[in-house]
Amino acid sequence: MDTTSLRGRIGQLIHMHSRDMTRDILGSGFSCARCGWCCRENFKIRITPNILRPSNAISIFPDDIRCIIRGTGMQWEEVAQPDIYSCLSDGERMLAIGWILRRNEAGDCSFYREGECSIYEFRPMICRCYPFFMDERGVDVMHCNGLGNEMTRERAEEMARMVKRYEMKKLRSYVSILEQIGDKLNLANLRELPYDYCGEIFVCDGEGITVDCINKLP
């Protein structure tokens, strides 16, 4: 991962029309079932030989956190936690690459309550895009209980625009993080934070470096 290749990909996306993804999105027949499948830990994703990431460890932007704060009146630390599955050490500090939505002791998103999303109106951009993401070939459709229903072309076009915006924002965030910490951000260097870790952790989120303190992992 380097800034040159990331900026090149951003340039490609700028010149790609979101309607190129509309057909695949429309064909999925997506309609959110409000089932909470994506809010719960259903499986783990092996990122590296040392990292097993829960399926609902949801990476979020600082803008997402501020939106939830405005909508709920909650504090930053009530909404988000350092991404404990994307950490590295520079020899002096423990660094976390970004934030994830806070999860409860059961492993569910802390905003999944009484069988539904309690912040649906203020949900992060990644949640608004689900189950659609981009890969090198185009749109990738993830597992979702809301597939196979009726979907209007207008809604499919709206989703395609959102997915493109999300991908560009994610890549720009990566560029900013790389500029913050330089060549330390290498997939081979990433580690999951040890379960018994207690102490300061420095969160690099592309906007700045925030000092957080971890006393007990969820």
Contact (Cβ atoms closer than 8 angstroms) between residue 157 and residue 19: yes
Split at pLDDT 50, 70, 90, the class of 93 is confident
The pLDDT assigned to 185 comes to 66
* In the predicted structure, residue 36 carries a pLDDT above the cut 60: yes
Q: What is the mean pLDDT of the chain?
A: 90
Contact (Cβ atoms closer than 8 angstroms) between residue 101 and residue 60: yes
- Domain of 48 in residue numbering reads as 3-214
Hey, is 28 helix, strand or coil?
helix
* In the predicted structure, residue 218 carries a pLDDT above the cut 80: no
pLDDT by residue (tens digit) across 162-180? 999 999 999 999 999 988 8
User: Residue range 1-26: average pLDDT?
Assistant: 90
176 phi, psi to nearest 5 deg: -65, -40
pLDDT by residue (tens digit) across 181-205? 876 666 678 889 988 888 999 999 9
Contact (Cβ atoms closer than 8 angstroms) between residue 37 and residue 56: no
User: Residue range 96-120: average pLDDT?
Assistant: 93
Q: Whole-prediction pTM value?
A: 0.91
User: Residue range 151-164: average pLDDT?
Assistant: 95
The pLDDT assigned to 2 comes to 82
Round to whole Å and give the CA distance between 54 and 59: 11
| Rounded (10°) CA dihedral 19, 24, 29, 34 | -80
User: Residue range 56-63: average pLDDT?
Assistant: 95
Total domains, the chain: 1
Nearest-10 crossing angle of helices 153-181, 3-14: 160
Spatial neighbors of 27 by CB under 8 A, at least 6 apart, are none
User: Residue range 59-69: average pLDDT?
Assistant: 97
